[in-house]
Amino acid sequence: MQVHDLNFDRARETASDAFVRLAESLELAEAQLIEVGTNLAKEGKFAEVARLAPWRSRFLHLRTLADRLNEQFFSTFDDESDLDDANIAESRGRQDLRTRTRGPNKSMTVTLWDGRVVREASAAQSFAIVLGELGWEKVEALGIELSGIPLVSRERHHLYDVKKMVYQYVDGWYVMTNSSTDRKVQLLQDISEALGRTINVFTELD
């Protein structure tokens, strides 16, 4: 096999999916732990709440390890100094722009409250467009973060490069899109409900 036969973009996309799912699993488990602790506190069972503290530390340790592995993995693919191949160099240049999205497993169609339909080339693009329709400032005010990065922001967060995250740049706003399609659907549903808007989101396999 020649070096130019290696599909670096496909490897990056596959790995990105895996790291996203790992991060979401850790977030879900930690959220459940917090919920348990909150319920115990309401019942006055503070001794049991205290016993949960080591678990919080373990989740923090796991997230740190996952972030390091993520960074090391993509650094390996980005370290092409020993590969003298114009095509790979060009591919790396495109990748470093960090504006492309992962090839999603599902496409997304959103019907807005006024009947308009949003269906872009990728779920990430549809996701970003709908957030804009909901109102950038209103969405930002909700304070939602993914992997420590604001869901929407006018400033490019430094973690986009540190964690090798992908995003969309729409209307002067950076949109964190490094999440699964199912997670995007849930976010749109939660955000639209919080903002008093009714939308219908549909997904289908590409």
Q: Given this model, what pLDDT does residue 181 score?
A: 85
Residue 44 burial by CB count (10 A; 0-12/13-18/19+): exposed, middle or buried? exposed
| Cα angle 173, 99, 88; round to 5 | 165
Higher-pLDDT residue of 192 and 146 is: 192
What average pLDDT does this structure show over 111-132?
A: 92
| Cα angle 27, 177, 36; round to 5 | 15
Q: Which two tokens stand for residue 65?
A: 């390890």
What average pLDDT does this structure show over 135-161?
A: 90
Q: pTM score, two decimals?
A: 0.53
Q: Given this model, what pLDDT does residue 58 score?
A: 81
Q: Given this model, what pLDDT does residue 98 score?
A: 41
Chain length of the chain: 206
Question: If we measure between CA atoms, which residue out of 51, 31, 54, 56 comes closest to residue 41?
Answer: 51
Q: Any residues with CB less than 8 A from the CB of 145 and at least 6 apart, and which?
A: 151, 176
Residue 9 banded pLDDT, cuts 50, 70, 90: low
Q: What gap in Å lies between CA 182 and CA 184, rounded to an integer?
A: 5
Alpha helices in the chain (DSSP H): 8-42, 46-51, 53-78, 86-96, 123-134, 136-141, 159-162, 181-194
Most confident of 78-92, 160-174, 178-192: 178-192
Q: Given this model, what pLDDT does residue 78 score?
A: 54
